[in-house]
Amino acid sequence: MTAEQLLAAPATVLPALRGAVTGLPSYVPGRRSAGADIAALASNESHYEPLPAAITAVAEAAGKMNRYPDMAAVELRERIARHLGVTPNEVAVGPGSVGVLQQIITGLCDAGDEVIFAWRSFEAYPILVELAGARPVRIPLDHLEGHDLSAMAAAVTERTKVILLCTPNNPTGVPISHDRIEAFLRAVRSDILVVIDEAYVEYAEAGSGPDSLALYRQYPNVCILRTFSKAYGLAGLRVGYALAAPAIAEGLRRTALPFAVSALAQKAAVASLDAGEEMAERVAAVKQERVRIAAELEAQGWKLQPSQGNFLWIRADEVLLATLVEAFNVAGIMVRAYQGDGVRITVADPTSNDRVLRLLEAHAA
């Protein structure tokens, strides 16, 4: 052995992350919505503060943070069950509906199992699937920015365990009709869990999307996913839920991280459901704004698919997208850009929406 070899540092091998983890995209923090002049329209949050009753409930619960929350979330599950006309056995809660979705995927998928979803859709889908060691199967949206359910049905294999349907779809805002989902459910095997992600259901016009509860009652392999993060304005508190057949809901509760839903979140969610009418008034105002700005954008020359969420979707090629991203940046308006696809803009208060309209006017076709 030469002196040189003796002096060389021994090779250090660091503990290895799983391949599924190294393949995941890094989280890129967005610009913080500091300054009063920044419009935060990138995350589909409610621009309203939480409902007053929710703030009161959190303040009251804050004094008991030395205690663990109710792990079974009994009161909240009972309140959700009453809200939906089901039993608490059919309800599982989690830290946001993303948390519940992770429980669904880890609860149902072994390594190599397949999860089918539309693309583009919610960005958390491929991440949760890959993290579980399962295989994401992305089915391109149709030419109207909606789910291509025939292609999704055709993609089913014997490894398919879960299918995710997002209605209205994030980021395009396009809903899936009741009849189309029902035909789909008739076509897919009953041992595949069909998750209907309704994060924006409160913003949808009645009848535009499915009567998911009716589908759930008819097809026990349906699971409905809902959240308090959007219309209820509790994005920062992390609470969402699934409605599923009792045996599945029980499994989801078992896969949950213990105590993941804080007492503050549980209390705030109950209080928010109790204040449902106030929530509905706020949602009505956002829907009115959605109609107003969609009409103005159309008048400016933009061609948009009607959105049933609290956001608008502008499909854009690379050149247009780069132009828009730059313009929004300069204007201090935070929006969500999707490389190669387009830009999603949250509908908020009239002042912010007007800023968006003024900006887009300058770039209309």
Binding site for ligand PLP (CB under 6 A): 44, 96-98, 122, 166, 170, 197, 199, 227, 229-230, 235, 240
Chain residue whose CB lies nearest ligand PLP: 96
- CB neighbour class for 190 (10 Å; exposed up to 12, middle 13-18, buried from 19): exposed
CB of 7 to ligand PLP, least distance (A): 53
Cβ(323)–Cβ(335) below 8 Å: no
- CB neighbour class for 34 (10 Å; exposed up to 12, middle 13-18, buried from 19): exposed
The first and second tokens of residue 24, run together, are 């995941």
Which CB sits closer to ligand PLP, 97 or 221?
Answer: 97
Which CB sits closer to ligand PLP, 276 or 301?
Answer: 276
Which CB sits closer to ligand PLP, 199 or 271?
Answer: 199
Angle at alpha carbon of residue 318, lines to 316 and 324, rounded to 5°? 60
> Residue 14: what are its φ and ψ, rounded to 5°?
-80, 155
CB of 9 to ligand PLP, least distance (A): 45
CB of 2 to ligand PLP, least distance (A): 58
Q: Could you tell me which of 227, 187, 365, 200 has the C-alpha nearest to residue 286?
A: 200
Which CB sits closer to ligand PLP, 98 or 314?
Answer: 98
What is the DSSP track for 236-256? TT--EEEE--HHHHHHHHHHS
Which CB sits closer to ligand PLP, 208 or 300?
Answer: 208
What distance in Å separates the CA atoms of residue 194 and residue 160, rounded to the nearest whole number?
Answer: 11
CB of 230 to ligand PLP, least distance (A): 6
CB of 37 to ligand PLP, least distance (A): 25
Which residues is 92 bridged to in the sheet? 242
Which CB sits closer to ligand PLP, 88 or 95?
Answer: 95
> Residue 298: what are its φ and ψ, rounded to 5°?
-65, -40
- For 219, other C-beta atoms within 10 Å of its C-beta total 17
Which CB sits closer to ligand PLP, 282 or 363?
Answer: 282
Which CB sits closer to ligand PLP, 221 or 227?
Answer: 227
What distance in Å separates the CA atoms of residue 181 and residue 194, rounded to the nearest whole number?
Answer: 10
CB of 203 to ligand PLP, least distance (A): 11
CB of 257 to ligand PLP, least distance (A): 13
CB of 145 to ligand PLP, least distance (A): 14
Which CB sits closer to ligand PLP, 79 or 230?
Answer: 230
Output the CA torsion 226→232→238→243 (10° steps): -20
Reported in sequence order, the residue ranges of 268-359 that DSSP labels E, i.e. its strands, are 311-315, 333-334, 336-338, 342-346
Angle at alpha carbon of residue 283, lines to 31 and 347, rounded to 5°? 35
CB of 147 to ligand PLP, least distance (A): 12
Peptide bond into 220 cis (omega under 30): no
